[in-house]
Structure 1
Amino acid sequence: MGTRTVLEGAEISRALTRISHEIIESNKGVDGLVLVGIPTRGSSLAHRIAATISRIEGADVPVGSLDVTMYRDDLAHQPTRAPQPTDMPVGGVDGATVVLVDDVLFSGRTVRAALDAVNDHGRPRAVRLASLIDRGHRELPIRADFIGKNLPSAKHERISVRLEEHDGVDEVTISDASGEAGA
């Protein structure tokens, strides 16, 4: 199959703009809203969404970053990466509507870990989930509230999100990764 590009820069930008509008509408504005990205690319996406919301609403939205590595229940089965810094907004998450932001929603295990991690930082009023890509194959009863693109894929395929901040280009690709763990 090789590798094929399924989203390019302009399409990613439009998806994030749509997600930003949906978050504002769902929250009825930006009061009490906090965005928390899941490193690495989820954090960059959270900052982009916050910038878009700021342009739309004329108000800043607090943004944090929440590493979930040590909260995962599949560390024995997944290759581990070095933990990334957790940087919660100064106002915290107590009583806020927290929107967790991740690049790819797959099994749901990263989001489950993020829910545990958020609870260690306070008690939000509500927690929502925004994901650039939803590829299906859930192992847990978790769904995204805001989705950039539904991208049904085979379990053996790999979805790669590359962002300017980390990779020098904005694109989402799908490739045959038989024998490798998915995104």
Structure 2
Amino acid sequence: MKILVLNGSPRPNGSTKQMVTAFEEGATGAGHKVDVIDVCKKRISGCLACEYCHMKGHGTCVQKDDMQEIYVLLKEADMIVLASPIYYHGLSGQLKCVIDRFYSAAYPQKPPHLKKVAMILSSGDANMYDGALFSFKGDFLDYLGLEDMGVFTAHGMENGAEKQKDELKKFGASLK
């Protein structure tokens, strides 16, 4: 299976990245191809709502930035994993820009191979996930109709804990 992981954390060694790395180890160990994109290191602008992609671009965005790399991977992905620290009860702004730019590639229909989605979230408090979960359910489960493979969270002292990383490594290894 081809898995695209979009890491929305700007911290190269932070809790979210540790969780992503554990998932990646499990999934690659089970023979899956995993591409991890650290979206905070990319130059990706927000959607312009110009409708070029649907009027003249035939699904191609008018903006020529680092999102082009993600579009190629998205087209071939069987599964997408969204990973983010929680900022103000939602996903990081960098990851939100990427999701908004799916408009050209996932509307009016999802990419051809994409079937599954999972989410990895890190926060300081257990009660901070509502905004991210709203996006997960509305955008990925309901709108795109993807199979829910789970939401994995760590908060407070759980961040960086071996138990959380082991759970994600096992999850990656269990994928079929």
- Normalising by structure 1, we get a TM-score of 0.42
Structure number with the higher helix fraction is 2
Q: Which structure's relative contact order is higher, taking Cα pairs within 8 Å and 6+ residues apart?
A: 2
Structure number with the higher strand fraction is 1
- Normalising by structure 2, we get a TM-score of 0.43
